[in-house]
Amino acid sequence: MTTQRVFSGIQPTGVAHLGNFLGAIKNYVRMQDGHDAVYCIVDLHAVTVPQDPAELRASTLRMGQLLMAAGLDPERCILFVQSQVPQHSQLGWLMETTVSYGELSRMTQFKDKSDRNEFISSALFTYPALQAADILLYDTNFVPVGDDQRQHLELARDAAQRFNSRFGETFVVPEHVIPPVAARIMDLQRPNDKMSKSAEAENGVVMILEDLKSIEKKFKRAVTDSEDEVRFDRENKPGISNLLEILSAVTDKNPVVLAEDYTQYGQLKIDTAEAVISVLQPIQERFAELAADPAETQRLLTIGAEKAREIASVVYERARNNMGFL
């Protein structure tokens, strides 16, 4: 059996938070083994909303360091920056011809982001076509993502199938891999909203590179409810269930079973903070080491981009040819 290909992407801008880590990065690391894994820092997606050039460059490098610190190993996966592989923009254009205005109009992320920004670029609207291109360029079988990417992944599948039926077998139709727990980590202050890079209530967002004392405080202040029963019930007890889900993702134990160990909210908060800190601390230490040598990270990302281009150029040529370009 041939090794299955895994692909995923993460935006470099905004602060990387616990939701990104538990919902996605942790699975990127896990799926390096036994798969042919390709991971991309999607700077072309980041510029769909206005970015400061110096900050974009710095945060792209920082995301490379963060992903390596979290356990992505350039010897075991391909890790690269999207804009360094031109086939992403090239296939992105072809995919724009394959998805419809109506489909793009239904994307909830576009609606959310366009409500929040004054300048709404046309690229923000066509963003999911580029995301489809990202995935399809690598003959991807599996895409590990959090729950908020479900709709984009459905569109990528539809686009692949449509292209194949119009132009002949070209793309592998990918499947998403959404974890059973931690696919949607919620804001600690507003447990009905997902933890988000652009969240206004900063106290609700735990950053991967945050000071450990500050992380502890945020968990202690997490919003719960006025009952006193620890029970895993996402609908009626969103705050408590979110804590259980975080603890579950970190300890690999079932959240329903974990709940049985607790009679007090306070102890659950303390244990969750402790468990989170125990996984983030080594990542932070490794990040500090990598940050001391930015040239090395750049070198590794350049090698990653070369390897990515080798795969992407073959698939892009296939698409170009099947579509009838001279």
Judged by the rule CB under 6 A, the positions of this chain that interact with ligand TYM are 8-11, 19-20, 23-24, 42, 45, 131, 134-135, 143, 145-146, 148-149, 152, 183-185, 194-195
194 belongs to the catalytic site:
yes
Provide the minimum distance between the beta carbon of 79 and ligand TYM in the complex, in angstroms, as a whole number: 14
Considering beta carbons, is residue 105 or 264 the nearer one to ligand TYM? 105
Give the active site residue among 26, 111, 197, 218.
197
Provide the minimum distance between the beta carbon of 221 and ligand TYM in the complex, in angstroms, as a whole number: 18
Residues in the chain, overall count: 326
Give the active site residue among 26, 111, 113, 213.
113
* C-alpha to C-alpha distance for 22 and 10, rounded to whole angstroms: 13
Q: Is 190 helix (H, G, I), strand (E, B) or coil?
A: coil
307 belongs to the catalytic site:
no
Provide the minimum distance between the beta carbon of 167 and ligand TYM in the complex, in angstroms, as a whole number: 22
Give the active site residue among 26, 111, 194, 269.
194
Provide the minimum distance between the beta carbon of 176 and ligand TYM in the complex, in angstroms, as a whole number: 8
Considering beta carbons, is residue 194 or 269 the nearer one to ligand TYM? 194
197 belongs to the catalytic site:
yes
Provide the minimum distance between the beta carbon of 264 and ligand TYM in the complex, in angstroms, as a whole number: 26
Considering beta carbons, is residue 129 or 268 the nearer one to ligand TYM? 129
Contact 37, 78 (CB under 8 A): yes
Tell me the DSSP string of 64-95. Answer: HHHHHHHT--TTTEEEEEGGGSTHHHHHHHHH
Residues 6+ apart with CB under 8 A from 21: 70, 208, 280
Please count the other Cβ atoms lying within 10 Å of the Cβ belonging to residue 226.
4
Q: Give residue number: closest CB to ligand TYM.
A: 23
Q: Is 118 helix (H, G, I), strand (E, B) or coil?
A: coil
* C-alpha to C-alpha distance for 281 and 124, rounded to whole angstroms: 35
Provide the minimum distance between the beta carbon of 306 and ligand TYM in the complex, in angstroms, as a whole number: 20
* C-alpha to C-alpha distance for 125 and 285, rounded to whole angstroms: 38
Residues 6+ apart with CB under 8 A from 167: 319, 322, 323, 324
Considering beta carbons, is residue 235 or 260 the nearer one to ligand TYM? 235
Considering beta carbons, is residue 106 or 299 the nearer one to ligand TYM? 106
* C-alpha to C-alpha distance for 43 and 81, rounded to whole angstroms: 7
Tell me the DSSP string of 159-173. Answer: HHHHHHHHHSS----
* C-alpha to C-alpha distance for 139 and 306, rounded to whole angstroms: 17
* C-alpha to C-alpha distance for 131 and 99, rounded to whole angstroms: 12
5 DSSP assignment: E
Considering beta carbons, is residue 11 or 297 the nearer one to ligand TYM? 11
Could you give the residue numbers annotated as active site?
Answer: 113, 194, 197
